[in-house]
Amino acid sequence: MGTKTIDTTTLRNNFSTTLKSLDKEDILFIKSRGKLTGKVIIDDEILEDLLLLQDEEYVKGIAKAREEAKNGEVYTFDEVFGDVL
């Protein structure tokens, strides 16, 4: 994941070009008068991941699931879906 910084004037004058220059993993920080504005442009999937990582219950659930998988506490596809499919 890369980060880039751009000032508001350059962004305003080159918006389309700037967006096209970003990779999916890039985060673009926006500055105004040399200071970060608190505004960013970020891929929606990365934003979703970052928001989920802020949720303690979600992170605990992932850790629990990984531990269960490590211990072989898993179900087969057929056990989960059976005759449904």
What torsion do the CA atoms of 19, 22, 26, 32 make, to the nearest 10 degrees? -50
End-to-end Cα spacing for the chain:
38
Q: Both 54 and 37 in a single domain?
A: no
The reply to whether 84 falls in a domain is no
How many distinct structural domains can be found in the chain?
2
User: Cβ distance 32 to 7 under 8 Å?
Assistant: yes
Q: Both 39 and 27 in a single domain?
A: yes
Report d(CA 43, CA 28) in Å as an integer.
10
Question: Structural domain of residue 23, as residue ranges?
Answer: 3-43
pLDDT in the model for residue 85: 66
Query: What CATH number is associated with residue 39?
Result: 3.40.1620
> Which burial class, exposed, middle or buried, applies to 34 when counting CB atoms under 10 A from its CB (0-12, 13-18, 19+)?
exposed
pLDDT tens digits for range 10-56:
999 999 999 899 988 899 999 999 999 888 888 988 889 889 999 99
The reply to whether 31 falls in a domain is yes
Q: Both 11 and 37 in a single domain?
A: yes
Q: Both 58 and 28 in a single domain?
A: no
Report d(CA 51, CA 48) in Å as an integer.
5
pLDDT in the model for residue 84: 79
